[in-house]
Amino acid sequence: MEKKTGKKIFNGIAIGKIRFYSKAENQVSRTKVEDTEAEIARYEEAKQKAAKQLEQLYEKALVEVGEANAEIFNVHIMMLEDDDFNESVHNIISAQKVNAEYAVASTGDNFAEMFANMEDEYFKARSADIKDITERVLSILCGNEEGGEIGDEPVIIVAEDLAPSETVQMDKSKLLAFVTRLGSSNSHTAILARTMGIPALAGVEIDHSWNGKIGIVDGYEGVFLVDPSMPVLEEYFKKKAADDEQKQLLQTLKGKENVTKSGQKINLYANIGNPGDLMSVLENDAGGIGLFRSEFLYLEATTYPTEEEQFQAYRKVVETMGGKKVIIRTLDIGADKQVEYFNLDKEDNPALGYRAIRICLTRPEIFRTQLRALFRASAYGNLAIMYPMIISVDEVRRIKEISVEVKKELLAEGVEIGNVEEGIMIETPAAAVMSDELAKMVDFFSVGTNDLTQYTLAIDRQNAKLDEFYDAHHPAVLRLIEMVVNNAHKAGIWAGICGELGADTTLTETFLKMGLDELSVSPGCILPVRKVIREAK
């Protein structure tokens, strides 16, 4: 038996036959051509066919994994139309009088390398997207069939890496788990695996001799076992049966209160990325939405979303939640979330740069449009607004001034506005330390533990090399959270957590002891956290 370890992508246990997945090899050679115009036409035809394939993949992904995860295929379509990429292909064909395959492969290699060498982690990740669309066009030019077939029996897929397009094309009924040598916990494929609920590991040293052998993926421990002995197999069959039973038992918690044995209650809300996630929120019995990432409207658009477009999206969410609280975070663009039409300058350290509320306060026309849409939507349900990346009392004062002006404008226009709570995210040590003063100015706090941990520990959470140093349980982080809760309660406001730490069930009892009023987690974590709450004393 061989035992390999990797990065945990999604929990769960899978047992089955191993199948190595490899895409069709596109053999590209450099060939001289006489008719360069005809060769450019070949490229354009292949590009259009690739765009149609991506449109079909988008529709398939929309049904299987939701709008937010399907959006990567729209991004790939836009990449196919990139002027710089297309000019490079055309120029290589025309200037060197070579075949389209060579021009596409050369351009793809150059662009992928350019992105891979960038310091910004977001742009580094785009290198894989360039490779994906390049391979797609080459497959069409070379006459290779699209991949995605994984056989007739359920298997554990092992691969060097998996592109989002490959993942979506696979028959999910035949897919037990993913194991890849490359990739990270933040890759698009990892996000798709979590959305589909498939156990997955990345960063595993793989061996092609495993093909056809029995494997075990333990997503809880980050372990991949190859050709296990019968006793080990029997042990894991028992573990898997217990895991499946536990998931079924969680369903019995629907409709139950989030209350400890001693009677302490806590609100349990869901984090979502767009209105397409609402079904998952309702299916998992969330008490409300504690974080609605409004930036999806900007990330999916080709220009600034209008007030009406935003209003319709916000209204849909609050109406669907039927009176349950919906907390919408204002625009959080910047850092690893870049939008081309914002024309943001390249920064050496974007995580500490021009982002979130800093953009809103220096480009008030964008901020006012969003606030108008939010206040209009508040008349249709229980809507609250929270502002990200706060570091000072002065920022909150400026936000409140703009907020008051926008509300006055709407009321003067005869627009109905609901009773809107306005709070801030505590994501910086500065905000945590100043939380006693900030609490006097807002209606609630929501702790964004992802960034709070990053900034407190001075560790880039996107950098895989620093994984061993990144400790979300660090005493300094927990002390800051407790300070925030205490200062909130002294001022008579409530405090919650909307970062990933909220779903960490090893800390649930700690958070209860701190007196947190709310935890907001991904929809699939609602019932597991509820179970721990109800078992706590």
For 182, which DSSP code? S
Tokens found for residue 23: 């895409």
C-alpha radius of gyration, the chain, whole number:
25
DSSP percent split of the chain into helix, strand, coil, nearest 5? 50, 15, 35
Q: Which residues contact 340 (CB under 8 A, 6 or more apart)?
A: none
Angle between helices 36-65 and 100-116 (to 10 degrees): 50
Residue 92, Ramachandran bin (φ over 0: left; ψ between -120 and 50: alpha; else beta): alpha
CA distances from 507 to 494, 514, 534 (A): 19, 11, 14
Distance CA 150, CA 20 (A): 9
Residues known to be catalytic: 188, 498
Alpha carbon distance 131, 133 (integer Å): 6
- 3-state SS record for 471-524: CCCCHHHHHHHHHHHHHHHHCCCEEEECCHHHHCCCCHHHHHHHCCCEEEECHH
* Contact status, residue 393 vs residue 438, Cβ threshold 8 Å: yes
Residue 525: Cβ within 10 Å count: 21
Q: Alpha-carbon distance 3 to 240, whole Å?
A: 18
Output the CA torsion 403→406→408→409 (10° steps): 180
Q: Please list the alpha-helical segments (H only) found in 204-327.
A: 230-250, 278-283, 296-299, 307-320
